[in-house]
Amino acid sequence: MSFDPIVQVSVSEQVAQRLLTMIRTGRLKRGQQLPPERDLASMLGVGRPAVREAIRGLALLGLLRIRQGEGTFVGSLETRELLEPLEMVIELNAGTLEALFDARLVIEPGVAALAATHIGDADIARLHALVADEQSLLGDPETFSAADMAFHETIVDACENPFLQSIANSLYLLGKKSRRVTSQVEGVLERSLQDHREILGALEARDPERAARAMRQHLCRVRDAYAASANLPDHETHSLTRRRS
């Protein structure tokens, strides 16, 4: 029989956990200013270095905002803002892009299928408007990408599942870099527009299987177009396209 050693938690980690708990429970609210380091250290009965390290760590996660000359403030718990630091450190290359597409292929067809059973007329109308916007934005990749993201987010909202919504929205936010790359690939915008029309048609028909199939085909087409345009070595191209359906 063996036992794992007891790991001692550092004081700074304890301070960070205390602050995080206060944020989660609402004792510290969004935008609220924290006491100065000296006062906070005294309140918690710890040294200033531990407080400083805890604040720095929570700031890196976006939970606290340090404003030079003003102080430290509670940040947002919104997924979009919390993922910004992570998005910055994700290096976009063939490996990470492949992993992102793999994740989207697992999640998004299921989301589309579920959305087809719940989507309302208002969401259908919004999707029609977004597709119309995309038609007029084929010459503007950056703005097209914004409409593209709104199209997918509308489908996520329509699935009415908070767990899938959280996962899918996280993938979309982390995939902003990939959109900037794939939107520059010749023919991708035109193909995406046609794919979106097919997805919309399936959703409007309230056909889950067709919606899932159309979403999977859309993701595979974008992935394969990127692989071809990037002139990836054979083993990488095969890796990116090996799950083609």
pLDDT digits (tens, 9 = 90+) for 6-16: 556 688 888 98
pLDDT band at 166 (very low <50, low <70, confident <90, very high): confident
Taking a C-beta distance cutoff of 8 angstroms, is the pair 65, 59 a contact? Answer: yes
Each residue of 50-80: pLDDT tens digit?
Answer: 899 889 888 877 788 888 888 999 986 665 5
Q: Do domains 11-77 and 84-241 have the same CATH topology?
A: no
**What rounded mean pLDDT belongs to the chain?**
82
Does residue 233 have a pLDDT over 60? no
Residue 244: predicted pLDDT: 45
Q: Which whole number is the average pLDDT over 149-159? A: 92
Does residue 94 have a pLDDT over 80? no
Residue 91: predicted pLDDT: 53
SS3 call for 73: strand
pLDDT band at 141 (very low <50, low <70, confident <90, very high): confident
Residue 66: predicted pLDDT: 86
Q: Give the pTM.
A: 0.62
Q: Which whole number is the average pLDDT over 73-95? A: 60
11-77 CATH: 1.10.10.10
Where is 2: in which H helix or E strand? Answer: none
Each residue of 185-213: pLDDT tens digit?
Answer: 778 899 999 999 999 999 999 999 999 99
- Rounded CA-CA distance 139/142 in Å is 9
Q: Nearest-CA neighbor of 198 among 220, 175, 181, 168?
A: 220
Tell me which of 228 and 14 has the higher pLDDT.
14
Report the half-sphere exposure of 156 (CA within 13 A, side-chain side): 21
Each residue of 104-130: pLDDT tens digit?
Answer: 999 999 999 999 999 999 999 999 999
Q: Which whole number is the average pLDDT over 147-169? A: 89
Q: If you compute the radius of gyration of the chain from its CA atoms, what whole number of angstroms results? A: 22
Counting residues of the chain whose pLDDT is more than 70, the rounded percentage is 77
Which fold is adopted by the domain 84-241? Answer: Four Helix Bundle (Hemerythrin (Met), subunit A) (1.20.120)
Ranges of each domain in the chain: 11-77, 84-241
DSSP 219-245: HHHHHHHHHHHTT--HHHHHHHHTT--
